[in-house]
Amino acid sequence: MKFPSEPFKIKVVEPIRRTTREERDRLLRHAGYNLFQVPADSVYVDLLTDSGTSAMSDNQWAGMMLGDESYAGSKNYFHFEEVVRSIFGYQHVIPTHQGRMAENLLFSTVLKPGMCVPNNIHFDTTRANVEHQGAEALDVVIKEAYDPHCDVPFKGNMDLLRLEHAINRIGRDRIPLVMITITNNSGGGQPVSMANIRETRALVNRYGIPLFFDACRFAENCFFIKEREAGYAEKPVIDIARELFGYGDGCTMSAKKDGLVNIGGFLSLNNDQWAQDITNLLILVEGFPTYGGLAGRDLEAMARGLREVLDEDYLSFRIGQVRYLGELLDQGGVPIVKPIGGHAVYLNAKEFLPHIPASQFPAQALACALFREYGIRGVEIGAVMFGKHDAVTGQVMYPELEMVRLAIPRRVYTNMQITYVAESIIALYQQRGMINGLKMVYEAPTLRHFTARFDELVLLHT
Ligand code: P70
Q: Each residue of 385-396: pLDDT tens digit?
A: 988 888 788 888
Instruction: Compute, in angstroms, the gap from residue 35 CA to the centroid of ligand 1.
Output: 16
Determine if residue 42 is left, alpha or beta; phi over 0 gives left, psi from -120 to 50 gives alpha, anything else beta: alpha
Q: Which amino acid is at 151?
A: D
Identify the band that residue 240 occupies on the pLDDT scale cut at 50, 70 and 90: very high
Position in ligand 1 atom list of the atom nearest CA 100: 24
In this model, does residue 194 exceed pLDDT 70?
Answer: yes
In this model, does residue 458 exceed pLDDT 90?
Answer: no
Per the document, the length of the chain is: 462
Q: Are 221 and 192 in contact (CB under 8 A)?
A: yes
Which of the two residues, 395 and 305, has the higher pLDDT score? 305
Instruction: Compute, in angstroms, the gap from residue 234 CA to the centroid of ligand 1.
Output: 31
Instruction: Compute, in angstroms, the gap from residue 123 CA to the centroid of ligand 1.
Output: 7
How far CA 260 is from CA of 79, 180, 185, in Å, comes to 16, 21, 17
How confident is the model at residue 14, as a pLDDT?
96
Q: Cα separation of 416 and 328, whole Å?
A: 12
Q: Cα separation of 424 and 47, whole Å?
A: 13
Beta-bridge mates of residue 348: 403
The percent of residues above 70 in pLDDT, for the chain, comes to 99
Q: From atom 18 of ligand 1, which residue's Cα is the shortest distance away?
A: 51
In this model, does residue 161 exceed pLDDT 90?
Answer: yes
Q: Are 187 and 120 in contact (CB under 8 A)?
A: yes
How confident is the model at residue 92, as a pLDDT?
98
Q: From atom 17 of ligand 1, which residue's Cα is the shortest distance away?
A: 49
Instruction: Compute, in angstroms, the gap from residue 140 CA to the centroid of ligand 1.
Output: 20
Q: What is the mean pLDDT of the segment spanning 134-157?
A: 97
In this model, does residue 52 exceed pLDDT 80?
Answer: yes
Q: What is the mean pLDDT of the segment spanning 365-383?
A: 97
Q: Would you call 76 helix, strand, or coil by DSSP?
A: helix
Position in ligand 1 atom list of the atom nearest CA 102: 24
Q: What is the mean pLDDT of the segment spanning 364-387?
A: 96
Q: From atom 9 of ligand 1, which residue's Cα is the shortest distance away?
A: 99
Instruction: Compute, in angstroms, the gap from residue 51 CA to the centroid of ligand 1.
Output: 6
How confident is the model at residue 124, as a pLDDT?
87
73-87, 234-248, 444-458: least confident range: 444-458
How confident is the model at residue 452, as a pLDDT?
96
Ligand 1 is surrounded, with C-beta below 6 A, by: 48-49, 51, 98-100, 123, 125-126, 181, 185, 214, 216, 254, 256, 265, 379, 407
Q: From atom 14 of ligand 1, which residue's Cα is the shortest distance away?
A: 49
Distance of CA 388 to the CA centre of its chain: 20
Q: Which of 125, 262, 364 to mutate to test the pocket of ligand 1 (most atoms within 8 A of CB)?
A: 125
In this model, does residue 372 exceed pLDDT 60?
Answer: yes
Q: From atom 6 of ligand 1, which residue's Cα is the shortest distance away?
A: 123
Instruction: Compute, in angstroms, the gap from residue 331 CA to the centroid of ligand 1.
Output: 29
Q: Are 404 and 449 in contact (CB under 8 A)?
A: no
Pick from 360, 371, 359, 367: which is nearest to 44 by CA? 371
Q: What is the mean pLDDT of the segment spanning 152-156?
A: 97
Q: What is the mean pLDDT of the segment spanning 133-138?
A: 97
Instruction: Compute, in angstroms, the gap from residue 249 CA to the centroid of ligand 1.
Output: 22
In this model, does residue 457 exceed pLDDT 90?
Answer: yes
Provide the mean pLDDT of the chain. Answer: 96
Q: Cα separation of 60 and 195, whole Å?
A: 34
Q: What is the mean pLDDT of the segment spanning 280-301?
A: 97
Long-range contacts of 363-369 (CB under 8 A, 24+ apart): 363/402, 363/403, 363/404, 364/33, 364/438, 364/454, 365/435, 365/436, 365/437, 365/438, 366/404, 366/435, 367/35, 367/404, 368/28, 368/33, 368/35, 368/438, 369/428, 369/434, 369/435
List Cβ neighbours of 47 (8 Å cut-off, separation of 6 or more): 344, 376, 377, 378, 379, 405, 406, 407, 408, 409, 421
How confident is the model at residue 459, as a pLDDT?
65
Instruction: Compute, in angstroms, the gap from residue 393 CA to the centroid of ligand 1.
Output: 30
Q: Are 299 and 265 in contact (CB under 8 A)?
A: no
Position in ligand 1 atom list of the atom nearest CA 48: 15
How far CA 252 is from CA of 49, 100, 222, 255, in Å, comes to 19, 9, 16, 9
| DSSP tally for the chain: helices H, then strands E | 16, 16
In this model, does residue 380 exceed pLDDT 70?
Answer: yes
Beta-bridge mates of residue 403: 348, 381
The percent of residues above 90 in pLDDT, for the chain, comes to 93
Q: Which of 54, 218, 254, 256 to mutate to test the pocket of ligand 1 (most atoms within 8 A of CB)?
A: 254
How confident is the model at residue 439, as a pLDDT?
96
Distance of CA 2 to the CA centre of its chain: 25
> pTM to 2 decimals?
0.96
How far CA 45 is from CA of 110, 128, 354, 449, in Å, comes to 40, 29, 26, 21
Q: Cα separation of 271 and 264, whole Å?
A: 22
Q: Cα separation of 73 and 268, whole Å?
A: 18
Query: pLDDT, tens digit, for every residue of 83-111?
Result: 999 999 999 999 999 999 999 999 999 99
Beta-bridge mates of residue 440: 454
In this model, does residue 145 exceed pLDDT 90?
Answer: yes
Q: Would you call 342 helix, strand, or coil by DSSP?
A: coil
Q: From atom 15 of ligand 1, which residue's Cα is the shortest distance away?
A: 49
Query: pLDDT, tens digit, for every residue of 412-442?
Result: 999 999 999 999 999 999 999 999 999 999 9
In this model, does residue 460 exceed pLDDT 80?
Answer: no
How confident is the model at residue 450, as a pLDDT?
94
Position in ligand 1 atom list of the atom nearest CA 449: 14
Position in ligand 1 atom list of the atom nearest CA 343: 26
Instruction: Compute, in angstroms, the gap from residue 258 CA to the centroid of ligand 1.
Output: 12
How confident is the model at residue 78, as a pLDDT?
98
Instruction: Compute, in angstroms, the gap from residue 41 CA to the centroid of ligand 1.
Output: 21
CA atoms within 13 A on the CB side of 240: 27
Position in ligand 1 atom list of the atom nearest CA 255: 23
Position in ligand 1 atom list of the atom nearest CA 103: 8
Q: From atom 8 of ligand 1, which residue's Cα is the shortest distance away?
A: 99
